[in-house]
Amino acid sequence: MPNPNYNQTITLFNCLKAADNDTGKDIWQRTVLQHCFYKNSTGVQPLGESLKSVNYYTIRIPVSDKYKPYSEWSKLPNNERSEYFTFNADDVVIKGDSPEEITGMSPNTAAQVINRNKPGAFKVNSFSDNTTSPFGKHYRLGDKRERTI
């Protein structure tokens, strides 16, 4: 029985780093993933005599045979790489099935795409592979942003 909390669609943009391809530029691959858990929490916490704003993103994606670790994904031929996805720091997630494309050039840099889609978009800064646990096998993506207010 599928987890009823996994009811969201996300658009994942994987970045094939310039150092890992022949073009000398980052290449972005768009993948739409369904049946995901998506949570965006915001809050305020004390920071000495001031306050800090905290924004957390948590995404859980069910185990998939289309997932490859970045070290394997990055070595796939171009025509095969599009069949798979990976998770890596600096990848971009947008809530929903987004038509956006990241080209690395204005107006479609990663930062510009994230800004256009806030608060439903973020840059991944944490990843864990939770597929070895006995129940609820999934991949977890996250981001935590703090700023003094």
The pLDDT value given to residue 130 = 93
Q: Are 149 and 53 in contact (CB under 8 A)?
A: yes
The pLDDT value given to residue 41 = 85
Nearest C-alpha neighbor of 113 from the set 8, 7, 18, 11? 11
Amino acid sitting at position 121: A
Strand order in the sheet with 126-130: 121-123, 92-95, 8-16, 27-47, 50-62, 138-148, 126-130
41's enclosing H/E stretch is: strand 27-47
DSSP 71: H
Q: Where are the domains of the chain?
A: 8-148
The pLDDT value given to residue 43 = 73
The pLDDT value given to residue 148 = 58
The pLDDT value given to residue 58 = 94
The pLDDT value given to residue 149 = 55
What gap in Å lies between CA 64 and CA 50, rounded to an integer? 44
The pLDDT value given to residue 145 = 66
Strands (E), 7-95: 8-16, 27-47, 50-62, 92-95
What string of pLDDT tens digits covers the 149 residues of the chain? 568 889 999 999 999 999 999 999 999 999 999 999 999 987 777 767 777 677 789 999 999 999 999 999 999 999 999 999 999 989 999 999 999 999 999 999 999 999 999 889 999 999 999 999 888 899 999 987 655 55
The pLDDT value given to residue 136 = 84
